[in-house]
Structure 1
Amino acid sequence: MYNFLLKLSIIFLLVLDLYASKVEVLNNNISTNIDKLSNQLKYLLPNYKESSNDISNLLNIYYQHYEKIQAFEIVLNNKTIYSSYKNSSDIFILKDEPLPIEIKKTPEIYEKDILSNDNKFLGKLIVYFKNEINFTQEELDYLKNKKILKVQNDSNLTPYNFNENGIAKGYSIDYMNLIANKLALRVEYIPGIWDDFLNMLENNQLDLMLNVLKSKQREERFLFSDIPYLLLSPAMITRIGERDYHSFSEIDGKTIALVKGYHSYDRVKKDYPNVKIFPTDNTLEMIKAVANKDADLAYGLRDVLEYNINKHLISNLKISNNIDDEKFGFYITFNKENEILKSIIYKAEKLISKSELEELNQKWFHKIMQTQFSGENHLFSKEEINYLNEKQNISICVDPNFLPYEQITKEGKYVGIVSDIVKQLSQNTNIKFQLNVTKSWNESFEMVKNKECDILPFAVQTNSREAFFNFTQPYLKFPIVIATKDNEFFINSLKDIENEKIAMIKDYALIEILKYKYPNINIVEVNNTKEGLEKVNKNEIYAFVDSLPSITYARQKNNIQNIKISGKISEDLLARIAVRNDEQILLNILNKAINSLKDEEKDRITTKWITIVKEKQFNAELLIKIVSTVVALFVFTIIFLIYRSNLKLNILNKKLEKLSQTDKLTSLFNRAKLDSILESELNVYKRYKEPLSLIIADIDFFKNINDTYGHTTGDVILKEFAQVLSKNIRETDFIGRWGGEEFLIILPKAKENKALITAENLRVAVEKFNFYHNIKITASFGVYECKESNPTKCISKADKALYKAKNSNRNCVKSYSEI
């Protein structure tokens, strides 16, 4: 009876231990769980002959979860007292028989002493692993002696590497745990700050780091994995209500917050001496420096910035894309002398399955989406959530007749670009909006002003309106343009035509904005865009000023002929939400909601409305004239090229009309666009005898890059190459992707000697540029000064010059005159 009760109590303790550890068995490092297994076995080994079935059941849990485990053996006094092994899906229990010799030859094993509660030796647990990795003997010796890897744990690189309540968490941490499981190693995560980590790695206090961006300076100090395990997009943050920054070249004299020791810190310090750095110890401190006005902006990884801004309820910041950089890669980084560990980790990484990576991505990047869009998680504060729950619906009043922005249809349906933006905000945040139907813009304006309605979803901020409303950050911007008869010259500024009659829509913000800057302009008020364009057509006024989408829509819908875009105002129309000024909390909520809008969502919405316009009002004669403006609406911008003063309007209009397609990969002009530009410039050459030169650039040995690194890397190289060329030519030059790895540059007013100098400067810039993965890139250039008006012949001669350069050992510049 006593023995029965003793065994029952042992089984009870074991079941308790198993139950308590089950979650950890399924989730933690394999070596940690084997240590736990040895602790569980101490209850069964004193009577191992009678408990062999219980031992088998316990070990089966590990066989089922870890495919890497091939066999178990328990040894006491150099004698096997229990053994089992797995072959395919079958488990063979040998009990006290030794394992087959071929299994014992497995080089990867893990040993753990089994001790009783009073530290009495009960036996040795030996775990044999499948030989999945072909290690060298030197690597096996390293693994045998290492057992524990020391890895950095950032304080706040959420969601990749951070510490929460003393526990290392994040995508990179889980990725490292996958590697450790393949190697049956433990990982000790060392907390600290970034600047210290790099020194610790150099001094062998860390074995590796997980979140390092590669640079030439760092490659002199450390070893890097051959490829990044994760690619990330950079971004900049600024305060709401202040200008966006998209490039380091825009921030001279500004103060930027950066984390000490980060790649960006060293880069700005070295390359941008006129930029002041506000140093911080971690990402959260960096973000708060901008929020608290200690810095004008900050720079970091977009996911990290978004996660922290939303998690810590920082409502006065906005994020903008950085155009200097495409994407960064996280590399695993090692001490300069530790080639062995680099090789081991590389082999283990190859064993990580696609399903394991998908699970990892789902876990962390799904969590980011929740953080951004769910009030329950982090987007809104408790106070804001309570406000929304109590409010139920946010009432909106709109302009009932202002397409393509917004309209209330005869059926009472709210449609337009802004309507779709409102729907997207609701989808992103679960905020419910309710339309209050009005008959005019003035009625909507007065209702919000009198607190009878909560918001105007499409409003422009002015000094007079600030007395009645609070305004959110902009969510869209549109160019303001000048429309005239098609026989007028290009207009540089409203000052040039201030003595002429200029029409604008009455009661709209544009009048107040432009009257303030151009007090002497002669404004004629009209009721709508259609009326303004018709007055231009009838010569009742000289010009009509409005946003580009409004003019484009009205001209197409009403089939208004003989109208051209003759100029652009320096200001843009910034679309904001006007909020009743007695509810600051609603303003904060809507600013956070606007932060949830993605560029692709905005593009999709505007593209939809452009498509509708084109389908409903297709007119072949008009299409040629307005294609440039239609395309400009796709990307919320219009580029007006001013190359020669006082040229006839039809030359400029040809360029405006043909401002259309771009190469999707590089964002430069595509071949069709280059053809039209070249034809236009050759007409100028023919008429005015102004010099015109061409440069064709070709990346040397580009096929080898694709074959060696893959087409994804090749695409990155093409983008970077395009940026190098674009940044090193004149503003008056045209550049585009001619095909494959070839690029064409058209140089108006440039003789051959000028084109040769430009090409040589480009060649040097390419050779010096630090391309992706530190791949060495050079290029060959062919130059030709056009002597005829036939574009095919001009291109052919520039191409022959390029061919000569490629046959002259490449990485050089040749002109057609040398042939």
Structure 2
Amino acid sequence: MHFPSVSEITTTEVITIPRASMLKEAIDMMFRSNHRHVVVTDRNDFYRLSIYEILRLNREQKDKSIPLEVLDLPKMPTVYKKKNILETLEYLRNDFEQIIVVNEDNSLFGIITQSDILSSIDPDTLMDNYRLSDLLKIKKRNRWINKEEITSEIFNDIERYKHDAAMVIEEGRPIGIVTTKDILRLLKNRADLSLPVKTYMVSPVVTVSQYCTLNEALQLELISIAYTRWVRMIQTYQKELHEINEKLERKSKKFEKIAATDPLTGLYNRMKFLELFISEYTIMVQRHNALSLLVIDLDHFKVVNDTYGHNIGDEMLEQISALLLKELRNVDILCRWGGEEFVALLPAADCDDAFLIAEKIRAVIEAFSPEGMPGITASIGALLQVFFNF
């Protein structure tokens, strides 16, 4: 299996802001882009401003006009873009869901997530062997809450425990959910956070057991991210796959030709001739037409091989094959039956046509006398089949 390099699965469109910028600018950028995280750049260092920091600053009622550099933002891990994806598995044990991908000079190239790393594994293996509980180990757990709880208090808990979402429960079953994406939307719209969380929850919620496989979960459309990334990779390799397909087609045609032709003369071999004979025979029957067959045998050709050697004999067979093709019509089919024997199929040729063609061939072979080669003659037998229309 092909394991890609980090650069092949990197998202290069990253929302960034210089560390010298003001907090309000960063928050506005998050609202405009609808991203829960912004990468704060400081030369070759990268920090994360996330929805959790925004919630904390809101709770502490911090002034939004302060510069980002005064905030104690967590530094993000980095990985070189040319590393193989297998070398990034250690990041699955990291608290950071996102990893910065850098160029050779440590400048920003893009970003990957833990989900990107996981979904770059063979999807069949991933779907059948990983369980949801395996993924939950590297994901933040969701908090279970009552629908009457105040939204601002829920936000504080999500910020404190770094939850991805809060699940609204009623009588032991989930009836809604509030995610960090929803939090970003509510902050942007300046929603009234003193209202109960049921006001803003998203419902209904579809659930599965944490012990089901990812393959089973996919049937309920809960874990589509793995295949989404896989499809993106296939699209990336589409050109390469197209080129491979073209090469395979060319090789297939080449092998078909090898299987259908005589390697010495380039004429059809016996197997291909039988296939074409059946096809032509069927057509002639349908059209109630004539069909003739010529069997051409070079006289005493064994003497040529014994006297002049097989190299001369082979060269004569090649040249005689070319002569036969010139004398036959475009619709005629010529094959080397074996040794010095040739067979010619003459569609829509009656007895007179077959005789004329056979005589031309006999005369041409008899007149054939290239330098350094002996003269030769041929015996030709003809078979005529006429399909009458009653």
TM range (shorter): 0.3 to 0.5
Greater Cα radius of gyration, structure 1 or 2: 2
Structure of greater relative contact order (alpha carbons < 8 Å, 6+ residues apart): 2
Q: By percentage of residues, which structure has more strand?
A: 1
